[in-house]
Amino acid sequence: MVLRVSKSEKNRGKPFWKCLTSYGATSCNGFEWVDVTSAQAEQPDDTYDATVLNMLKSIKDLVDWH
């Protein structure tokens, strides 16, 4: 599982856990997902609050550490 952030209007910026499929789908139930561990997390644009991204990265690092 990976931590994702919703880009939909209703849930913009909210974190979700998502199971990756073998074909690497980027949408699920109408939500678009962006991997917060990608380069976008290193260079956040206007769509995402840097504080939220840093918090999510910290959570991911904590989960990966265990």
pLDDT in tens, 12-42: 777 766 655 544 555 444 455 555 555 444 4
Q: Is the dihedral of CA 7, 46, 14, 42 positive or negative?
A: positive
Query: For position 59, what pLDDT does the model report?
Result: 76
pLDDT band at 55; cut points 50, 70, 90: confident
Where exactly are the structural domains of the chain?
Answer: 2-65
Average pLDDT, the chain: 61
pTM: 0.25
Least confident of 2-11, 21-30, 49-58: 21-30
